[in-house]
Amino acid sequence: MTITVTRSWAADDAVAAEVAGLRSSLTASRVALESAVQRMAASVSGDDLAWAADDEIAETLLAMVDLTRRLDALKGDVAARVAGGNTFAEAGFRTASAWLRARTNESFAGVKRTFEAGDWLGAVPVMGAAWREGSVSRAHVAALVEAHTRFPRCSAGLSQIEAELTAAACDLDPKTF
C-alpha cells in the first residue's frame, strides 16, 4: 500500500519524495524532522555558521531552545503511547523502559525521564500544553507535578488554578515558579 503525502508542509520540502509510501503522517513527520536536523547539523558545522551574523546566530539559539522544549514534551507523548502499547511486550520486555534501554544507549535516568514526561503530560494537561508549545520547560512542569505530589490535600485546588499557574510560569524562571 502506498500513501502519498499531500500536506503543504511536505510539498515544498525536499523530503517529500522520501515521504511518499510511508505508513502514516507520524512516520512522514519523523522523516521530515530527521531531515531538518541533518540540514541544521550541516549548517552549524559548515561555513553557514561562520558567515552568519551574530543576531541570526542568537535567534537560532533561541529557536533551538524552544524546539528542544517542544520535542521533549512530544517525546513524552510518544513515550506514554509506547508504555500503553504492546510493542515492548511483543519484543519480550516486561516494561517499556527496559525495551527503550535495550534499543538505545540511553541511561536508566534518561529513559526514566522520558517516560516520566508522558505521565506528567497527563497529570497536568494545561501546563503540558504550554510545554508542547515551548512556553515552559520541563522544570516548570516538574515543579507543578512536585507540588501535587508533595501537597496531596491541595491537589484539587492546584488543578482548578492550573491555567493561572501556567500563565505565571510562562513569565518566570523555573526556580522562581
Quote the pLDDT of residue 15.
53
pTM for this entry = 0.79
Q: At what angle do helices 54-84 and 96-103 cross, to 10 degrees?
A: 130
- Pairwise CA distance, residues 83 & 177, whole Å: 30
Quote the pLDDT of residue 20.
55
pLDDT per residue as tens, the chain (177 positions): 333 334 444 444 545 545 556 578 899 999 999 999 999 999 998 888 889 899 999 999 999 999 999 999 999 999 999 999 999 999 999 999 999 999 999 999 999 999 999 999 999 999 999 999 999 999 999 999 999 999 999 999 999 999 999 999 999 999 888
Quote the pLDDT of residue 10.
44
- Pairwise CA distance, residues 69 & 34, whole Å: 17
Quote the pLDDT of residue 48.
83
